Structure 1
């Protein structure tokens, strides 16, 4: 029985008892205090008039005790109308008008369905990609509030529990794939159940504890990822100069192409010059895809665009070229420790990777414990002073709450304007807000897990610069013999051809004599709608789902 229904039944039982007690007390009071008898029905009428606050036909009281009793009863009536009814009656009425949450799995046979167990930031971008590629997504959600929000947004949702012995899970055997995003033990249970029911498709799981990966694989999962650890690796690579060559992070597209964001430091020799003057393609083998301005990403920049101090550019090129550009654009301070704010799962992994690379760290956390160097609130200047933030080579925000990260970034940027500031977030839309307050690099869990799973399920390999802009790697075999810019991709779809990979060479400058040869790979930049238009115009370029080994 629902909570609102139980509450209404309790109210229906309590009201008559309250009415009878009030009528009885009134009858006795009128007899002994006022000396004026009232029969039972007159007393009951008075009690009902009092509780409903509609007024009296009987209002002749003289004894002070009786007057106080009447006043107390009147306040009780006001409380009943304005407090009890909204708490018990209105929720019941609202539930009657709300759409009921589906509690059974729909038929999945022949519908190219992908079952996603538990919704969260880690799978938000993946679901958008699946819908773009024509998949029908069914979200299995155990939390009723999340399930209702998803239903209101138009998602196909099933609100149920894996522990429900009466739940029929047999339809999932006809799903195209399963993505498990719940607690590790729930993910393992789902994998066991799916394989037990005869599901033959791929199962991908996201786990918190890397020690559980092998166990879930043995249960029947095809691949198990720890996106928070991948996120930690990308942030550590951005913060530590010694670790950059050892951890590719998220922004690697293949073996030889990297996409990265970097802020133009005020003391950088690039600051104040135009792209044409810097000649990045010639000097670094790097092409600029766009830049962040006032928290908004602007794709495509002209040679006359000036590299303003503090601006964030997005560049593509070889790892070596990107590293050379980064050393000039955002030089790291030498000698200072890397300050890590937050010592949760991501923070601990960041510190571990930095220590393995020989970097010094200072950890700030509100809770004392092994590995925490400074205990205190990072929003207080005294805590930042004790941690040596102004002398740090970089500051990494590893907080689990996006609002905390945004506020901390504002405080630290005000306190230490020149220190490189790197942040992790949960929601992709928070990235632009962090850039607006001065963060040098921000990465969301959605930007980590989305590309990993999209590559497995859809064959699309991409880097997400923000929710509406991405760089995609495609096979250029269908364009052999053509110049990369002469195929009409930009003219017919708006997508930009930004780089070409040939064996171990990355080309970002396309000479007139350049022609695509077998084995070449192109990199396109654009929003999801732009890329869809490109794949519609050039069907041979559309990524193919990887074949699953029997």
Structure 2
């Protein structure tokens, strides 16, 4: 078995971890040296030979100041001088231990976050990411992309560092912060500094003219300015979220299928929402006979806000159930038609856009461009694009906007509590309306589904997926999907059947295809034996896929490989 050099192992540790290791090793060496010298002195100078273990006890008592040696007094001047020196060095070691290890460990006082960083190379430097940093950092860790987050909020930086993320405190408008983040070895810089984006881009370019810069902004009008400043790509997550919500809504009026991911020729995966009035509503998955009727396979389902992989055959499909399905394009289109209500949305029923911020304006543009559907806009601030001025979480405002007769409402307000209340009120006013919701907190997605939303997208998840796609070219059911697809090595399961692998039970993921000698098989027999060299196509939530990768110690592969 090959051995990893000690220097390579310590290089992977943070500076603080290396300091602690060196300190413990040095302290052990010092105590050992003192023990040997003391044992020799007791025999040669004091004429009192004793065991090395007795000498070790005396040295330990002296250095820790719990005692000054049970062997006292000493007759030799040299032994007395040695004991005084050992006592003073013990006090020094104690102060050093308190200052460097004990105080930072238990109080966090004056924590040097830089010392916690491992050595970085080919990493990503992230500046002022304020869209739920943990979601993005977990996404990068899932993709095995190393990173350093620079935050001007010291408390946030400490909290993230304490949770195990690579974060430091500093201003991304100062070159020193980037130097501490090893900008010289970085592969890319991600900046989400709002109005300071331009300043940050210029600072980065002064240090690394060749590094890739990805800029996130909530103001799409600044795209040209940021590109001219030096950004290589500009992402507008809120605008993308609004566009995806609108396209999802427009699919209710047209037969077009959105956001499919091609796994191989003849195999695509997508999410399909079951609408109110659909023939599938109120039917169990077992009795829906989706495969027999359309040729599509149901890999999973979001039912009452919970992801089931695979879904319980007796689970009842509700009006806000989202099915995760695979199959060829025709099969998915046929299932999409089946999932729509028997009475197709009439264009005169129209769309209500609640909230005209960046998300709302992006959604409105898509609605106006892609379908001839009457649209009513609602916002608390009056502007030329606003039809109804008022609070969308008010029943009266929703009535004035025509929610009772509308076919779709896009809830695009930035406050999650307001969005949840608007969802509940809209459902109470019109049980048949399709409700598509934007959430600012990724954890609030389940709440929105339980409140009655038919489809939900969160800003943090959209942002993280867009960044991941820029860095790696990975497409996972579109940036806004709550489902991840990965192609992984099957070597950990070689010689086992699918049933014996325990993948679903241990991780919550589901295998939807197996690639064997270049051929992809989607009709999977639980008793099929997995061979070494095979690759599995798995689906699951972000958490379950991460659990799979960690449990079986495998790395994801881009779907196009």
TM over 0.5: yes
Aligned to 2:447: 433
Residues 1:546 and 1:258: Cα distance change in structure 2 (over 3 Å):
closer
Q: Say whether the 8 Å CA contact 1:238–1:244 is kept in structure 2.
A: no
Residues 1:154 and 1:210: Cα distance change in structure 2 (over 3 Å):
same
1:387 maps to 2:397: no
CA shift for structure 1 position 178: 2.0
CA distance in structure 2 between the partners assigned to 1:118 and 1:141 by the alignment: 5
CA shift for structure 1 position 403: 1.4
Aligned to 2:354: 341
The CA RMSD over aligned residues, in Å, is 4.3
CA distance in structure 1 between the partners assigned to 2:395 and 2:510 by the alignment: 45
1:224 to 210, 219, 234: 234
Q: Say whether the 8 Å CA contact 2:125–2:148 is kept in structure 1.
A: yes
1:178 to 189, 195, 199: 189
Q: Say whether the 8 Å CA contact 2:320–2:449 is kept in structure 1.
A: no
Which deviates the most, 306-315 or 398-407? 306-315
Residues 1:336 and 1:509: Cα distance change in structure 2 (over 3 Å):
farther
Partner SS for 1:169: helix
CA distance in structure 2 between the partners assigned to 1:144 and 1:482 by the alignment: 51
Aligned to 2:271: 260
CA shift for structure 1 position 121: 2.2
Residues 349-368 of structure 1 mapped to structure 2, 5 A cutoff: 349-357=362-370, 358-368=372-382
Q: Say whether the 8 Å CA contact 1:339–1:389 is kept in structure 2.
A: yes
Aligned to 1:287: 297
CA shift for structure 1 position 352: 0.8
Residues 1:528 and 1:227: Cα distance change in structure 2 (over 3 Å):
closer
CA shift for structure 1 position 440: 0.6
CA shift for structure 1 position 216: 3.5
Q: Say whether the 8 Å CA contact 1:264–1:313 is kept in structure 2.
A: no
Residues 1:247 and 1:217: Cα distance change in structure 2 (over 3 Å):
farther
Aligned to 2:484: 471
Partner SS for 1:204: strand
Specify every segment of 5 or more residues in structure 1 that has no aligned partner in the other structure, as ranges. Answer: 1-96
CA shift for structure 1 position 465: 11
CA distance in structure 1 between the partners assigned to 2:300 and 2:461 by the alignment: 18
CA distance in structure 2 between the partners assigned to 1:391 and 1:489 by the alignment: 49
> How many residue pairs align between the two structures?
442
Residues 1:443 and 1:489: Cα distance change in structure 2 (over 3 Å):
same
CA distance in structure 2 between the partners assigned to 1:482 and 1:248 by the alignment: 38
1:212 maps to 2:226: no
Residues 294-443 of structure 1 mapped to structure 2, 5 A cutoff: 294-308=304-318, 311-318=321-328, 320-331=330-341, 332-334=344-346, 335-357=348-370, 358-443=372-457
CA shift for structure 1 position 425: 0.9
Residues 1:337 and 1:403: Cα distance change in structure 2 (over 3 Å):
same
Which deviates the most, 337-346 or 141-150? 141-150
1:274 maps to 2:284: yes
Residues 1:380 and 1:308: Cα distance change in structure 2 (over 3 Å):
closer
2:153 to 143, 157, 160: 143
Q: Say whether the 8 Å CA contact 2:257–2:336 is kept in structure 1.
A: no
Q: Say whether the 8 Å CA contact 2:476–2:483 is kept in structure 1.
A: yes
CA distance in structure 1 between the partners assigned to 2:118 and 2:125 by the alignment: 9
Superimposed CA distance per residue, residues 229-280 of structure 1 (whole angstroms, 9 cap, x where no aligned partner): 211111001111378677845x646797342252353x32223333233221
Specify every segment of 5 or more residues in structure 2 that has no aligned partner in the other structure, as ranges. Answer: 1-106
Partner SS for 2:301: strand
CA shift for structure 1 position 405: 0.6
Residues 1:360 and 1:490: Cα distance change in structure 2 (over 3 Å):
same
Residues 1:478 and 1:454: Cα distance change in structure 2 (over 3 Å):
farther
1:194 maps to 2:196: no
